[in-house]
Amino acid sequence: MALSIVHRATGVALYVGTLLLAWWLIAAASGPAAYAHVQAFTGSIIGRLIVFGYTWALMHHMLSGIRHFVWDLGYGFKANEREALTWGALIGGIALTVLVWIIAYAIGGGR
Amino acid sequence: MSATDTPKRSMRTPLGRVRNLGAAHSGTSDFWRQRITGVAMTLLMIPVIVIVMMLLGRNQAGAAQILGSLPIAVILLLFIFASAWHMKIGMQVVIEDYVHNEKLKLVSIMLNNFFSIAVALASTYAILKLSSGV
């Protein structure tokens, strides 16, 4: 599995994505008009796709990072363990992303 | 390394030691900070997701009220601080791996610092402004 490049790619995506996070916080601090711009963007199809992608990048990078913590501590180096950790991060990242979005829509975030 | 080359006695700078392929004796600090900030963000992940969920569907007045409350502001400030530091180190590793032109590498690493600090300060300023209710 060559998933370390995905860890890196999601990291770079999250790096750029902090601009969206900063924009959102600054808008909230600026006033209703600025905040409405952010909401218009995150509510659009493109905006939603980007935020969905951002959620996945964050979830995957976190789980993939935990995998690295396990290795840092000296565990999980056997071939089957490496495979399990990698698949766990891959499937877990997708599962958590879907879960977060289901909850978000359930509590009315989809309006 | 000769005995006179030990950090205590030596008059050489860390850069001098590195240029002569000796150890700068601070080589693991970024590695360690990358781990601290990573663990911090993992611990903060659930609270941060809850905060974002709380804000969904609210207008600016509602969002500002939530973001301005003390525990939420502190959680977000910690998360911002950890992410900015984490992403600065991470991007530097990426730059050092892929950018081989020395001048371009220097400029890229500098821009990476500027970007990370700017994002962190702008976000921090926004949170503090919301907290002070100005």
Residues 6+ apart with CB under 8 A from B60: A27, A28, A31, A32, A34, A35, A36
Residues of chain B positioned with their CB less than 8 A from the CB of A34? 60
Residues of chain A positioned with their CB less than 8 A from the CB of B119? 18-19, 21-22
Q: Does B23 touch chain A (CB under 8 A)?
A: no
Q: Exposed, middle or buried by CB within 10 Å (0-12, 13-18, 19+), for B39?
A: middle
Q: At A94, which amino acid appears?
A: I
Query: Any idea where the domains of chain A sit in the sequence?
Result: 4-106
Classify the complex by whether its ipTM is higher than 0.90, answering yes or no.
yes
Distance separating alpha carbons of residues B134 and B64, to the nearest angstrom = 11
Q: Do B91 and A62 touch (CB under 8 A)?
A: no
Of B63, B47, B64, B46, nearest in space to B55 by CA: B63
Q: Do B39 and A69 touch (CB under 8 A)?
A: yes
**Over 50: is that where the pLDDT of B2 sits?**
no
Tell me: the pLDDT tens digits for A62-81?
Answer: 999 999 999 999 999 999 99
Secondary structure (DSSP) of A8-65:
HHHHHHHHHHHHHHHHHHHHHHH-HHHHHHHHHHHHSHHHHHHHHHHHHHHHHHHHHH
Tell me: the pLDDT tens digits for B96-133?
Answer: 999 999 999 999 999 999 999 999 999 999 999 999 97
Range of weakest confidence among A83-92, B6-15, B42-51:
B6-15
CATH 1.20.1300.10 fits B27-132, yes or no: yes
**Token output for A45:** 């199809």
Query: Any idea where the domains of chain B sit in the sequence?
Result: 27-132
pLDDT score for A28 = 97
- pTM comes to 0.88
CA distance A80 to chain B (A): 25
Q: Does B41 touch chain A (CB under 8 A)?
A: yes
**Token output for A87:** 């698949």
The CATH number, out of the four listed (1.10.3470.10, 1.20.120.140, 1.20.1630.10, 1.20.1300.10), of the domain defined by the range A4-106? 1.20.1300.10
**Over 70: is that where the pLDDT of A91 sits?**
yes
